[in-house]
Amino acid sequence: MEFFILDSKLFDDRDFAYGEQVDQKTAEPEKKDICSACGVAMGPRKWLSPRRVKLSKPSYGDVVHGSFSKFLVSSRFKELYEKSGLQGINRFDSVEIAKVLRKKVSSPEPPDYFQVQVDHGETLMIPERSPGFIFTRKPSCSACRIGTIATYDGIFLDPDTWDGKHIFIPNGLPGTIAVTEEFLAFLNESQLTNMVFEPAISYKAPWSRNRASK
């Protein structure tokens, strides 16, 4: 089977708005985002309600990237996903659109948006089989397998360890979202916009790409 990595476009709004938190309040990471073996945080601090967001323009994708961890999805995305039978999104947290920059009287209103919480999967990222993979600090915990990554030119996810989730955070690669072919088929069939993927094996570390293009 083949895996794909979400290419988070962050602050690219050529097609659709990106988003940023407004007056953000946070708390310690949730229990699901803390390794039960070593106690290291595998995810961000929790974003507390009211989750207020500013959008960069009045052009609304089904997915909003930006300064938050993970991404936001439209109510249409949420409804279709919930009917799809796919596994891996464990929660949709509502957000409030506080402001849309460059919005005119004639501009459309934004849809309702939700921040998704994605499961930590069992699927292992295998550094030894990932092209050009270099650690600055190798992982010391065999449960979360979190090290400090210098760079990579591709990601190998071990299909033998796949746990049935169609969207997930790979074990050993926190902050990165992987999906299966079924998830891509769902996006295509539903014509959901603003999500771009790369085959995992040719997905380069985003920070290395930025450096190379400067």
Where on the chain is the footprint of Zn ion (CB under 5 A)?
35, 37-38, 141, 143-144
What token pair was written down for 41? 């945080």
Calculate helix-pair angle for 181-190, 75-84, nearest 10 degrees: 130
Q: How far is the CB of 29 from Zn ion (least distance, A)?
A: 13
Q: How far is the CB of 120 from Zn ion (least distance, A)?
A: 11
Query: Quick one: which H or E segment has residue 100?
Result: strand 96-100
Q: How far is the CB of 39 from Zn ion (least distance, A)?
A: 7
Nearer to Zn ion by Cβ, of 35 and 201: the residue is 35
Nearer to Zn ion by Cβ, of 17 and 144: the residue is 144
Nearer to Zn ion by Cβ, of 161 and 190: the residue is 161
Nearer to Zn ion by Cβ, of 124 and 144: the residue is 144
**167-171 and 120-124: which strand pairing?**
parallel
Q: How far is the CB of 157 from Zn ion (least distance, A)?
A: 19
Contacts of 105 (CB under 8 A, 6+ apart): none
CA 149 – CA 127 distance, rounded (Å): 10
